[in-house]
């Protein structure tokens, strides 16, 4: 091992709620992330964030800048001398805004690291640190897309889509895709059937995305797909399992006779489960849903089954990553709003799994089990990726990475839109920040 593999850490984190309380949460979250990085000791880190800036992104953009500074100026990441950050921040553009953030940190001991230019279909050597934020439409080293408008519930734009980069890590080519799929709005609709209408919507958007990669003009590379898939358990099945033999009462609102919630009680009138549109409350909530008893729940996590032929995943042995309490005093408790679910996942194509060294330990888990990380706990995959085993499949042939053309550094031009450089303190090499503004 050692010189033949690269220790890689992939992390997906829905960070929306840490921007609701940035003064407290940014620091706690970042410290937990960095201490996990130190413990796992990777040489290549990919952090895929969703809901960067939170709900109130208009006000949060300066907190986003602070967040990136906290990471980049940290002691834990000081030896990562090559950095690429892509933050989709232009909230004024409803048709393009995804609130996705892809952050990549490359250790100084790794050389021969290339990133793909999606415009010219050519690899570019990765040197130094670059942050692309603001309107990043013109940045060619990423591909970003929202789902078509008719995929969105009621055709209403929300911050959902994907953002991809392609890397060559000492001769191993892989795509890293951040994705954010649609959520469940009402527990009642979710429990009508399986697959629910929400599940079918997610499936359609994911199928559309995979099809796009398959058909794409940049040839096919093995890919790791990690983000907030919003996968939920089969709510109907879970409720049936939890309420077997119980009495069901429909609770009406006295004022307008509107149906409010379902209550499930024992023969001696003990309340066991309440389900409302946004309430999911078991009498023994934490014990029922938290490790190590979650194995029963995992059997209701079925959304990935529709993708068995294309996608794969390492065994999930951690508790559901969502929804945790956002209160720092209740870091290990689930909120009683939704049935806990494995929304956040690290998935891969079958060809990508072949890049993982089978002799080494693979660690797939939750980050911050005892720390408040917001309503989603980040999910990570730590593995050893083989070097010099990459090839890209073109129309007729498979091209060895060593045969691919690489752009000369002197030919690389910075983006053509307005660029502003910001110097970040406490790090040895200056950072280029491209804050593109829409033209």
Ligand X SMILES: *[C@@H]1O[C@H](CO)[C@@H](O)[C@H](O)[C@H]1NC(C)=O
Smallest gap, in angstroms, from Cβ of residue 313 to ligand X? 28
* Cα separation, 233 vs 277, whole angstroms: 16
Binding residue (CB under 6 A) for ligand X from 36, 172, 201, 274 = 274
Is residue 325 a contact residue for ligand X (CB under 6 A)?
Answer: no
Compute the CA torsion angle 401, 406, 409, 410 (nearest 10 deg).
Answer: 170
Residue appearing with tokens 């795509």: 175
CB of 112 to ligand X, least distance (A): 6
CA 226 to chain centre: 5
3 DSSP 8-state letter:
G
Q: Which stretch binds ligand X (CB under 6 A): 23-31, 158-166, 201-209, 266-274?
A: 266-274
- Looking up tokens 């450089």 gives 421
Q: Is 172 in the site for ligand X (CB under 6 A)?
A: no
Site string for ligand X, 64-93 (x = CB under 6 A): -----------------------------x
* Comparison of 112 and 351: residue with beta carbon closer to ligand X: 112
Q: Does 111 contact ligand X by CB under 6 A? A: yes
Mode of pairing for the β-strands spanning 432-436 and 129-134: parallel
Question: First-to-last CA distance in the chain?
Answer: 49
Say how many C-beta atoms besides its own lie within 10 A of residue 195's C-beta.
16
Residue 438 touches ligand X, criterion: CB under 6 A: yes
Q: Work out whether 387 is an interface residue with ligand X (CB under 6 A).
A: yes
Q: Is 98 in the site for ligand X (CB under 6 A)?
A: no
Q: According to the binding rule CB under 6 A, does residue 271 interact with ligand X? A: yes
Q: Residue 60, interface with ligand X (CB under 6 A)? A: no
What are the CB-based long-range contacts (under 8 Å, 24+) for 394-402? 394/219, 395/219, 399/219, 401/168, 401/171, 401/172, 401/173, 402/171
Tell me which residue has tokens 């389900």.
Answer: 275
Nearest distance from C-beta of residue 2 to ligand X, angstroms: 9
Residue 24 or 41 having the CB closest to ligand X? 41
- Asked if 391 touches ligand X (CB under 6 A), the answer is no
Should residue 336 be labelled a site residue for ligand X when binding is judged by CB under 6 A? Answer: yes
Contact between 33 and 74 under an 8 Å Cβ cutoff? The reply is no
User: What does residue 30 show for φ and ψ, rounded to 5 degrees?
Assistant: -65, -40
Of 388 and 394, the one with the shorter C-beta distance to ligand X is 388
Please give the Cα distance from 100 to 179 (Å, whole number): 8
Residue environment code for 22-34, b if the CB has 16+ CB neighbours within 10 A, otherwise e: beebbebbbebbb
Residue from 98, 102, 135, 209 in contact with ligand X (CB under 6 A): 135
Shortest distance, position 282 Cβ to ligand X, whole Å: 6
Selected from 158, 220, 281, 351, the binder of ligand X by CB under 6 A is 281
Q: How far is the CB of 96 from ligand X (least distance, A)?
A: 4
Please check whether residue 83 is in contact with residue 105, taking contact to mean a CB–CB distance below 8 angstroms.
Answer: yes
Main-chain phi, psi angles of 165, to 5 degrees? -130, 160
Among 20, 27, 70, 112, binds ligand X (CB under 6 A): 112
> Would you tell me which residues interact with ligand X (CB under 6 A)?
3, 93, 95-96, 110-112, 135, 137, 170, 271-274, 281-283, 336, 387-388, 438
């Amino acid at each position: 091992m050692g010189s033949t593999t690269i220790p890689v850490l992939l992390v997906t984190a829905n960070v929306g709620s840490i921007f609701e309380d940035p003064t407290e949460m940014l620091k706690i979250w970042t410290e937990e992330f960095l201490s996990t990085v130190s413990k796992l000791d990777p040489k290549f880190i990919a952090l895929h964030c969703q809901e960067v800036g939170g709900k109130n992104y208009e006000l949060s953009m300066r907190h986003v800048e602070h967040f990136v500074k906290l990471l980049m100026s940290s002691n834990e990441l000081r030896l990562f001398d090559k950095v690429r950050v892509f933050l989709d921040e232009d909230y004024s553009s409803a048709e393009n805004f995804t609130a996705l953030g892809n952050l990549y940190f490359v250790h100084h001991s790794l050389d021969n690291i290339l990133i793909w230019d999606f415009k010219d279909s050519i690899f570019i050597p990765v040197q130094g640190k670059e942050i692309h934020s603001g309107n990043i439409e013109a940045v060619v080293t990423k591909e970003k897309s929202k789902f078509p408008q008719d995929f969105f519930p009621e055709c209403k734009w929300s911050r959902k889509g994907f953002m991809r980069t392609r890397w060559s890590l000492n001769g191993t080519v892989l795509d890293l895709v951040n994705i954010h799929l649609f959520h469940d709005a009402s527990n009642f609709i979710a429990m009508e059937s399986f697959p629910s209408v929400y599940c079918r919507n997610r499936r359609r958007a994911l199928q559309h995305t995979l099809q796009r990669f398959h058909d794409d003009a940049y040839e096919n590379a093995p890919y790791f797909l990690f983000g907030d898939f919003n996968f939920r358990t089969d709510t109907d099945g879970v409720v049936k399992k939890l309420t077997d033999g119980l009495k069901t009462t429909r609770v009406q609102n006295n004022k307008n006779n509107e149906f409010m919630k379902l209550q499930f009680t024992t023969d001696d009138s003990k309340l066991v489960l309440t389900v409302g549109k946004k309430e999911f409350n078991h009498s023994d909530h934490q014990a029922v849903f938290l490790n190590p008893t979650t194995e029963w729940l995992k059997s209701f996590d079925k959304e990935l089954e529709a993708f068995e032929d294309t996608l794969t995943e390492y065994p999930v042995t951690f508790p559901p990553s969502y929804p945790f309490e956002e209160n720092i005093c209740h870091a290990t408790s689930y909120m009683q709003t939704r049935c806990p679910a494995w929304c956040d996942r690290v998935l891969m194509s079958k060809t990508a799994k072949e890049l993982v060294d089978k002799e080494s330990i693979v660690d797939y888990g939750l980050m911050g089990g005892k720390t408040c990380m917001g309503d989603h706990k980040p999910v990570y995959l730590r593995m050893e990726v083989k070097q010099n085993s990459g090839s890209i499949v073109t129309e007729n042939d498979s091209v060895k990475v060593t045969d691919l053309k690489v752009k000369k550094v002197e030919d690389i031009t910075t983006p053509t839109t307005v660029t502003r450089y910001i110097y970040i303190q406490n790090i040895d090499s200056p950072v280029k920040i491209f804050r593109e503004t829409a033209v």
